[in-house]
A and B are shown apart, each in its own frame.
Chain A
Amino acid sequence: MALDQSFVGRTYPPTDPYEVGREKIREFAASIGDANPAYTDPEAAKALGHPDVIAPPTFVFAISFKAAHRVIHDPELGLDYSRVVHGDQKFAYRRPVRAGDRLTVTTTIDAIKSLAGNDILDIRGDVHDEMGELVVTAWTKLVARAAEEG
């Protein structure tokens, strides 16, 4: 069943703040095998002009996607998550995410399309710091594959 178009433009309330920790960044960088010292050594990060260690570019996905769960599991929208695959992912950064950030995400449904029985859902997450400044916007395209005919 096609998703309700009237959900396009719907914005969900901001999430509670996620506090970015140095050790969480270190753990994430290690998991992708990335030894860039900007992720682990505050002095190296400062030498690059950052006030503290920064996170790898895709780190913020864990935060933005958790916020997107409000959309994915919105019973009114009725998305069949068991059929969902991640289609596209894009980020636009005003500045890198860094240790000490307290980030909130405001999630908006940008578009809903139906193509060959597949539901395509474009979700935008605007990630702000505790000063209310935009840090990064994450766009996630989810594709719910058509249910097989019985």
Chain B
Amino acid sequence: MTAKVAYADVEVGTELPAQVFTVTRATLVEYAGASGDFNPIHWNEKFAKEVGLPDVIAHGMFTMAEAGRVVTDWAGDPGAVVEYGVRFTKPVPVPNDDEGATIEVSGKVAVKLDDNRVRVDLTATHAGQKVLGMSRAVVQLA
């Protein structure tokens, strides 16, 4: 593993480059196929509304994957991620239009651990509300 970020170069509070991810209905269909998660709440608006959701919602694991990109893009080597966990706190509704929904993700170094590892805390929001809680990754830095 060869993270491009050196442990010596980061401090508690160091911010990772924030990113905005767009998710459309087409994204969800592609993710369903690639991940094998064909739950109709992610592609069938009628079904989603019948079970009480406001609209089709993004897969929680899709949101987790996108949030993780803030960490892997920063670290350079995705293999430098030692731990990654999230809590799914709110769904991301995805409208049936070309714009879709956006997920804004930021992250910062929360703790410097032993052995050149750091804990990164992520914040993922949609429409101003947090969609992930306790979103944390442990990363092996150089």
Contact = CB atoms under 8 A, between A and B. Distances in A.
Do chains A and B interact in one complex?
Answer: yes
Contacts of A66: 36
B61 A96 contact: no
B33 A31 contact: yes
Contacts of B34: 27-28, 30-32
Contacts, number: 101
B87 interface: yes
Interface string A8-50: 0000000000000000000110111110101100000000111
Interface residues of A, number: 33
A89 B78 contact: no
A91 B85 contact: yes
A86 B60 contact: yes
Interface stretch (B8-16, B63-71, B104-112, B116-124): B63-71
A76 interface: no
Interface of A: 27-28, 30-34, 36, 38-39, 48-50, 54, 56-58, 61-62, 65-66, 85-93, 95-96, 139
24 contacts: A27-B34, A31-B27, A31-B30, A32-B62, A34-B69, A34-B72, A36-B72, A36-B73, A38-B77, A38-B79, A48-B2, A49-B2, A49-B77, A49-B79, A61-B35, A87-B88, A88-B85, A88-B134, A90-B84, A91-B83, A91-B84, A92-B83, A93-B79, A93-B84
Interface of B: 1-2, 21, 27, 30-31, 33-37, 60-62, 64-66, 68-69, 72-73, 76-79, 81-88, 134
